[in-house]
Amino acid sequence: MGNDNGVDDQLDAVTSVSVHYTSTLSSLHLRKAKLMFFFSRYPSSTILRNYFPDVKFNKANTAQLVKWFSNFREFFYIQMEKFARQHLAEGMRSADDILVDCDSEIFRALNSHYNRNNQLEIPASFCFVIQATLREFFKAIQDNKDMDPSWKKAIYKIIARMDDQIPEYFKSVQWMESLETNI
């Protein structure tokens, strides 16, 4: 196939700099994955492979990367449910009253988790996704749908359709390494 996996350094097609290939996901890869979450909550394994050009993928590290996003989603949804219940407890009546922007408490909670060092300017679309998710949880709980053991499934389905395109620059190994400096 002309795919020399034994070679450590090859030329990056875009930046023309040498890329060190690895099969081990680093803390930098993790940091980058978290930033990707702002755009996509449900990236497919093929998309993930494309966005980590410096990784020599195999079954194990692919599963690991996919698992990361699963963990990201868990934290995300737990926060959503918590805040939705909080709004109900505070007497909010309509889901339409839920408005999320970059100053919202829920936003700060998520930002500190996925974007600790503020290395990325969060896309407005993410605030919209948070707001939509919050409203779905709010309505479901308000309608007592949480009595159903699998009541969250319907919400997951809706949110899964709200993924956005991940910017191309995420594919740049050079960009990823710049995240290391910005600590």
Q: How many angstroms separate the CA atoms of 132 and 134, rounded?
A: 5
Q: Counting contacts by CB under 7 A, is residue 66 touching DNA?
A: yes
Buried b (16+ CB within 10 A) or exposed e, 128-141: ebbbbbbbbbbbbb
CA dihedral sign, ordered 75, 77, 83, 88? negative
DSSP state of 150: T
C-alpha–C-alpha distance, residues 25 and 55, integer Å: 8
Is residue 68 within the footprint of DNA (CB under 7 A)? yes
| 72 binds DNA, rule: CB under 7 A | yes
Which amino acid is present at 56?
K
39 near DNA (CB under 7 A): no
d(CA 36, CA 47): 11
Binding mask 75-104 for DNA (x = CB under 7 A): --x---------------------------
By CB under 7 A, tell whether 67 contacts DNA: yes
Going from the C-alpha of 150 to that of each of 128, 153, 158, the distances in angstroms are 24, 6, 14
Residue of the chain from 85, 139, 152, 171 that contacts DNA (CB under 7 A): 152
Told to check if 58 binds DNA by CB under 7 A, we report: no
Least Cβ distance, residue 35 to DNA (angstroms): 11
Tell me which stretch binds DNA (CB under 7 A): 82-90, 101-109, 126-134, 146-154.
146-154
* Position 71 contacts DNA (CB under 7 A): yes
CB of 17 to DNA, least distance (A): 27
- Residues found near DNA in the complex (CB under 7 A): 25, 30, 34, 42, 44-46, 59, 62-64, 66-74, 77, 150, 152-153, 156, 160
